[in-house]
Structure 1
Amino acid sequence: MKILNHLLYANDGKQVSYRATPNRGSKYSPTYLVMHYTAATKAAGSIAWFLKPEAKASAHLVIDKDGTITQFAPFNVVTWHAGVSQWNGLNGLNSYSIGIELVNGGKLIKQGGKWVCPVDKESVPDNDVIIAKHKNETVENAWHEYSEKQLAVAIEVATLLVKTYALKDVVGHEDIAPFRKSDPGPAFPMGSFKSKAMGRKDETLDLYKTSTEVNIRKGAGTQFETVTKMLPANTKVTILKREGTWSFVEVLDTVHGLNDIEGWISAKYLVK
């Protein structure tokens, strides 16, 4: 892929589908990349919505489950994807970020024995659903999984955007508007996605695995609450920092239906 004049071109050299949204601002220099889900299972509805002035919403890209990309504005033009938001001392992330929407039903509900997207009422097969607790919530819910092709294309695009615009970070809508939004949700592997997009090499990771079942806690000590149920033996983690005999880790495996768990583990239970 490549970017020419702030427009995206696919690996075949052709420009990706471009549908100019009326919901856009002025030119700007982006600093961050914000990931979203569409909260719908089909791309067509989101594309049509972004083309309506009354929507007052848009994004730079929509990436479908099969990896198909639609662009709505040049990357140096503000789109309206973030809403009321804050991050790292900045207010209103529309003016500072590129927005990517991944076609995904988000949080699902059970109707008639089937998992259903509450927005477009489409059913989602059981094998495309995970049960997980959102990091900003206290109970488990059903979430629509992202496809491997969709994630692979999104990583490729994100990596290109980070390089082209020297972006400082990749964040979720749930990070910049935690009291309003839950996307891209626990089905999205933000930790590994961010690492790849920002160019962190596997060989630079301080990789370990758990030697036995072990608790992962909210602080460096047994007095702190656990983040989730015990991690199984041989769970892969990377150490991000150390404090005494404790290590703050990112869990690289999906455990108990959760992606990108972070917390503190006693170092004596970690082995190479």
Structure 2
Amino acid sequence: KMLSTKGNKPAGIVIHHTATYNLNSTVNYFKKNVVDVQFVLGHDGKIIQMVPCNKTAAHAGKSEWNGKKWLNNSYIGIEVVNIGWLKKKGNKFYDGYKRLWKGEVRERKAEGFKYWEPFTAAQEKELLELCVWLVKEYDIPIENIAAHFEVSPGRKNDPAGGLSMSFDQFRNSVRSRVFQT
């Protein structure tokens, strides 16, 4: 049984990275476990909706943003398939599971780490489009779009360095698309 969000209208959006490798295994994991989210976004830009936008999903945990606490009840969660932070040892990179990383690496100091798997161009494009649509569809204030590290500071670091821009720049990109004439 899914709980409805207060008033059945989402108040905001929290963006995460999955710390996983691919869309299918992520979706299967979420289906089998307590974690769930409204949307999961694959490397190729494919979006899977797992929970209706007016239903509560367990994605933000202990969180607070713009005066609201425990955002699961009122914020839409978007998980971007991405391994997240990477550690450099010598000239090699390793993910959080201590596996050798052979993919692209973005160097950007953010949330205590210096190296990250970058979001793909398709992920950034579709994430922007999805956020623009959600803002328009549910009249969500732009300032209520947040990164998981912003709503759970000191506890979470996602999606910090995955985006090619800061989170303020991402919000500004959404704003400019929403208010285009």
Match of 1:5 in 2: none
- TM-score w.r.t. length of structure 1: 0.58
Larger relative strand fraction: 1
TM-score (norm 2): 0.85
Flag the 1:70–1:112 CA change in 2: closer, same or farther, 3 A.
Answer: farther
* Equivalent in 64, 67, 74 of residue 86 of structure 1: 64
Question: Match for residue 192 of structure 1?
Answer: 169
Number of matched residues?
174
Partners of 1:178 and 1:146 lie apart in 2 by: 21
Distance 1:154 1:120 in 2: 28
Any runs of at least 4 consecutive aligned residues in structure 1 with deviations exceeding 4 A, and if so which? 200-203
Structure 1 residues without counterparts, runs of 5 or longer: 1-21, 204-272
Matches of 2:102 and 2:21, distance apart in 1: 8
Change beyond 3 A, Cα 1:47–1:174:
same
- Cα drift, residue 202 of structure 1: 9.6
Tell me the equivalent position of 2:18: 38
Gaps of at least 5 residues in structure 2 are none
CA contact (8 A) 2:45 2:126 kept: yes
**Structure with greater Cα Rg:** 1
The residue type paired with residue 33 of structure 1 is I
Shift of 1:49: 1.2
2:73 matches 1:95: yes
Identity of aligned residues (%): 30
1:106, 1:143 → 2: CA distance?
Answer: 5
Higher relative contact order (CA 8 A, sep 6+): 2
Measured against aligned partners, the alpha-carbon deviations of 1:161-205 in whole angstroms (never above 9, x if no partner) come to 0000011221100000011100111231223321222346899xx
Q: Secondary structure at the match of 1:26?
A: coil
Q: Which residue of 2 aligns with 1:165?
A: 138
Distance across 2 between alignment mates of 1:81 and 1:173: 9
- 1:185–1:141: structure 2 CA closer, same or farther, 3 Å change rule? same
